[in-house]
A and B are shown apart, each in its own frame.
Chain A
Amino acid sequence: MSRAKLQRLGINLPLFPTTSVGSFPKPDFLMKARGEFAKKLISRAELEKAERQATEFWICKQEELGVDVLVDGEMYRGDMVAYFADNLEGFEIGGLVRSYGNRYYHKPIITGEVRWKGPITVDWWKYAQSLTRKPVKGMLTGPYTVMDWSFIESYPDRRAATLPLAREIRKEVEALIQAGAKIIQIDEPAVSVRPEELPVAIEAMHVVTDGLPAYFITHICYGAFEHIYPDMLNLPVDNFDLEMSNSGLDMLALFQKQRYTKDISFGVVDVHTHLVEAEPVVEQRLRQALETLPKEAIWVDPDCGLKTRTVDEAIAKMQALVRAAQALRTVTSDQ
């Protein structure tokens, strides 16, 4: 358990801390502003004003809902890789490719030597943290995922592209820590995809996190966990943020075979359905988690970023999980 580490960092959290994976849907006024900016109808400063307003909206909303560890909601990002590619040297932003259904993203192309030009997310983290007394997570995309979700033209192979990315992303982590961030999430959703490359992801994560004074979370989702578990526990982080509900909590069976040894941010609501889970459904999922995992290790959050839901759906899903966690907290705190 890493509660002792959190306490050393000055963070005291209740049982079943609630959080979210990172992204929230952009409110209509921000979508409108992004559209106008793309058409050059408004300035960068005007867009940023809308992004700050949207960030404030989500910080307030998380406070209202009673979330314990907050996120800035990523109002300033298009997607989780292109945003970083756009802010590092060595990338070009490619055309649209499909993710699923009618969802597309701009897939970056690594065309040169990657290099950190300066803080990318730090000002946004500072702004979000200035709006609340609760801890706000620093949010980054990990080097393995940035590599995997980019086309590689300027490095001979995938490992050769991943390690320089890790060195540069570490600089962003150091900048976040210097700014005061104590909980930092390094998203690595691609890690579950090529089991044979897990050692590369682990090597890269060591480069990013080794020796740094923060509580590290990594988010992994929608992959073949049966092929990377338990080896994935060698990723040097404190907490795995995992999509559990979309896959029917089937990872619990893996945990029963091989003990799970870290903290977990347990995905209790599915982000790919408009249906908002009823509070008892969420609570039941948590009770199932408790059959296998120690209560001190469990954080509660959605399966993945909520940006594909509507604002109302995202709020309702967060409300369901916060209420379920609070209810269970009351029941289990004396046990």
Chain B
Amino acid sequence: MELLLANHSSYPRIGDDADQQLLRRTITQRDKGEKNDADVRAAEAHLTELALAEQSAAGLQVVTDGLIRWYDPISHLTGKLAGVRINGLLRFFDTNCYFRQPVVHAKPQRGEPLLVEEFTFAKAHSSRPVKVVLTGPYTLARHSVEEKGGAGGFAKVLEAFTAALAEEVAALAAAGADLIQVEEPSLLKQPEDYPAVEQNLAALAARKGSAQLALAVYFGDPAPLYDKLQTLPVDLLVLDFTYSPSLVETVATRGTAKTLGLGLVDGRNTRLEDASGVARQLEKIAKARNPGRAYLNPSCGLEYLPRDRAQLKLHHLAAIQRVFLGRAA
């Protein structure tokens, strides 16, 4: 099994030193009228460059822009769609992070690119391949509320979000994105909606051109859905192993038809995993049928950790990789 290292998605946008606090400081100053939106955008760009550099320095083969510009995983995309306004705060799953809830008052429509500019910036400032991350239509729809008669019900909202994101996937592929990760954590909370997610992913896959499409699921146990996930129209499956006592065994016995993103390193807790233990899990997976290439990545975005601990986790990925390769040799 060829084992590469990848970031999952988000990265802390603040740290302990003054430079790492530039974005927070600038937003505060903008809110007081001392700086403007252009200053905030410049600070976002600077923090994005720092995030890219720290991922490269940790030895990752695939990086992300850290989602530094995102207010949250939901409103950053939906807030740019016509027919949607952004409302109050709600907790994002069982994290202590909050998102702003979209209110759908008319059919959601994409009038402008959502992430293309952010991707092209990251690509231009990274020495490593950049994975683009976008929250999937099902998770967006599950976190939205519809105003009376807004869009014709949940199914119609989902359909409209899917159409908007399919256009975005096409635009990202045209802009040179090689790897696009669609995040659907809500699927693990409501697995009965699997058929809808399958249908939506097919719509996105149809527009991906030569890019590879990844599905990421997290904040839950994907083992019960593992066989179904293997049939989805995606090239990669990025899985959270931290909620599942059986997923390593499941992968080892069932094998995989997809490239796997192995979320064996907990992106939500500071405790560093025993490198030998994770390497043993990797060995099990490597003996599965058709392991091919796999990515070792955190179980979810790293924004839930303090920056110094997020950095340690990334470096820990490399340490685990060394142990694994040492044993394999």
Contact = CB atoms under 8 A, between A and B. Distances in A.
Given A96-B15, A149-B96, 14 more contacts: A96-B16, A97-B304, A97-B305, A98-B13, A99-B97, A100-B71, A100-B72, A100-B100, A102-B31, A109-B270, A151-B305, A190-B96, A193-B91, A246-B88
Contacts of B16: 95-96
Given A95-B15, A100-B72, A272 B96 contact: no
Interface of B: 12-16, 23-24, 27-28, 31, 71-72, 88-91, 94, 96-100, 269-271, 303-309
B95 to A, nearest CB: 8
A153 to B, nearest CB: 4
A100 B271 contact: no
Range, interface on chain A: 20 to 34
Contact of B24 (A100, A102, A192): A102
Interface string A284-304: 000000000000000000000
Given A98-B14, A98-B97, A100-B99, A222 B89 contact: yes
A127 B24 CA distance: 35
Contact of B307 (A95, A193, A222, A246): A95
A97 B27 contact: no
Contact of A222 (B15, B27, B90): B90
Contacts of B305: 97, 151
Interface string A242-275: 0000110000000000000000000000101100
Contacts of B71: 100-101
B91 A223 contact: yes
Nearest to B308: A95
A118 B14 CA distance: 34
Interface in A79-127: 94-102, 104, 107, 109
Nearest to B88: A246
Given A96-B15, A97-B12, A107 B306 contact: yes
A222 B24 CA distance: 24
Given A95-B16, A153-B270, A193 B306 contact: no
17 contacts: A94-B309, A95-B16, A96-B307, A97-B96, A97-B303, A97-B304, A98-B13, A98-B97, A100-B72, A100-B97, A100-B98, A100-B100, A102-B24, A104-B14, A107-B306, A153-B270, A273-B88
Interface string A227-252: 00000000000000000001100000
Contacts of A149: 96
